[in-house]
Structure 1
Amino acid sequence: MKLNISAFIAALILAFTAVTPALADEAQDQIARKISEAVPGLNVTSVEESEAAGLYRVQSSAGETFYSTADGQYVLTGDMLKITSQGVVNVSEQARADARLAKMEAFGTEGVIRFPAAGEEKAVISVFTDIDCPYCRKLHEEVPQLNDFGITVNYYAFPRSGPGTASWAKYESVWCSDDPQSAMTAAKSGERPPQASCDNPVEAQYRLGQEVGVTGTPAIVLEDGNMVRGYVPARNLAQGLGLL
């Protein structure tokens, strides 16, 4: 998720968590201090030298990436693009993918609703999903095709309406059912799942989605940390993964 100007201003108004960076050198300390003074609630998690001389890449706990001069005086928002002999490379997106992958691996797959590949597993996708999202339902209709292509689908909860809503309660009921896979399929077909409650990972998975930059559903995280935003037909996704 890019940090745009409006988001930067909003951070000034809505921020509540102090910056607590663990930084190595003087320039990094200075950048963190300047940003801390200007945006008290922006939780900076890392400051590193970027590929561009004189610019440091700053990342926040919300998955935002922006850039600063070494003195912390100037802050640049938006993606950094690099011109190479093969074309234009989005350096910022690659950094986000690396950070996203680290968060996903740290969180693990415990508590996911899993639809395993049929036969040999050739790829795994992590899908942040909302039961009531039309395009999530469309993607779910093609999960058997994805499985036939050798793709395992791991569902993570991301009810877009947030806690305390009907969509949130549906996901909890699905997860707490005796057969979450069947309950998920039924719910995404329009059936209302029988109400059920238990200790569940819906909130934790939802927060993970926020941390890795999910802004809409379905959001498909690939094994290299890159994210496909929105519905993609099963065959196109398999082709993109090099399976066809």
Structure 2
Amino acid sequence: MKNVLGLFSRTTILNVLLLSFSSTLFADESSVLSAVRAALPQFEVDRAELHEGSGLYIVDLKNGPTLHVTQDGKYFVAGDLFRINKTNLENETEKAKLSKVEVLPESDMIVYKANNEKAHITVFTDVDCGYCRMLHKEVPILNEAGVTVRYLAYPRAGVGSDVYTKMVSVWCSDNPKEWLSKAKLGASVPENKCVNPVADQFKLGNEVGVRGTPSIVLENGVFLPGYLPAAELIKRLGL
């Protein structure tokens, strides 16, 4: 087991692991989670979610690979799960992770609402990021086209950094939309403190594969790493 676990950091679609848990049959999420925790006690297990298409449970490990576990709790595969279509491959593991973004409450975001909303995008942003500032200047164009822009915090320097403190101050301000716009123009933000989602949103960004900002998630679960001009985004949304 120890030698096998050492391969996790090199897990790819071509190099997956297939291990047996036990001969005991399981039939629900809590039992599958218990089996994973017993087999891999060195990992923190977040949750399990049944993927209906494959019949496997998707189990997220903190600082470890994603597992796909059989419903009987006897086997798992470490690595991404792909769905084979006639023309392409769809990464089902990535889609499952990105679904966490779509279910977040807008009350935790900073939202620039379109009056005639036809679609929305969710953007992991950093107030000191140059490309984030370019995208933000085009928010009025996106709103005019019917696209609502929903911001999540992703301070690239990490929790506890200066930009993290700045983004907490924005989220905790009396007018987050106004102060986010000011911060993206380089204005100094008065320090504010409150119960806020900035650290959780940063963690979620890491979980879904954010490696830089802006990172854009479309409502259909498509992940777009990096800046795209408003016209291209509008086109991608089919508007």
8 Å contact kept, 2:32–2:69: no
Aligned residue for 1:196? 191
SS at match of 1:198: coil
Per the TM alignment, residue 47 of structure 1 is displaced from its structure 2 partner at its CA by: 5.9
Q: Please tell me whether residue 110 in structure 1 is matched to residue 140 in structure 2.
A: no
* Deviation digits for residues 216-238 of structure 1 (CA, Å, limit 9, x no counterpart): 32222222333322212111111
SS at match of 1:159: coil
8 Å contact kept, 1:61–1:211: no
Per the TM alignment, residue 94 of structure 1 is displaced from its structure 2 partner at its CA by: 3.2
Trace 1:1-244 onto structure 2 (pairs within 5 A).
Answer: 5-6=8-9, 24-25=26-27, 29=31, 32-33=34-35, 36-46=38-48, 48=50, 51=53, 56-60=56-60, 62=62, 65-68=66-69, 72=74, 75-77=77-79, 79-98=80-99, 100-101=100-101, 104-105=102-103, 107-117=104-114, 119-193=115-189, 195-201=190-196, 202-243=198-239
Per the TM alignment, residue 122 of structure 1 is displaced from its structure 2 partner at its CA by: 1.1
8 Å contact kept, 1:27–1:71: no
User: Where do 5+ consecutive residues of structure 2 fail to align?
Assistant: 1-6, 12-24
- RMSD of the alignment, in Å? 3.4
Aligned residue for 1:11? none
Per the TM alignment, residue 65 of structure 1 is displaced from its structure 2 partner at its CA by: 3.0
Distance 1:27 1:192 in 2: 47
Pair 1:96–1:205, CA change in 2 (3 A): closer
8 Å contact kept, 1:44–1:58: no
Distance 2:29 2:147 in 1: 45
Q: Kindly, what percent of the aligned residue pairs are identical?
A: 35
Per the TM alignment, residue 166 of structure 1 is displaced from its structure 2 partner at its CA by: 0.9
Deviates more, 1:128-137 or 1:43-52: 43-52
SS at match of 1:239: helix
Q: Residue type of the partner of 1:219?
A: S
Per the TM alignment, residue 30 of structure 1 is displaced from its structure 2 partner at its CA by: 6.7
8 Å contact kept, 1:172–1:200: no
Per the TM alignment, residue 167 of structure 1 is displaced from its structure 2 partner at its CA by: 0.1
Structure 1-normalised TM-score? 0.71
Q: Residue type of the partner of 2:221?
A: G
User: Where do 5+ consecutive residues of structure 1 fail to align?
Assistant: 9-22
8 Å contact kept, 2:8–2:65: no
Structure 2-normalised TM-score? 0.73
Distance 1:27 1:129 in 2: 34
Per the TM alignment, residue 160 of structure 1 is displaced from its structure 2 partner at its CA by: 1.9
SS at match of 1:160: coil
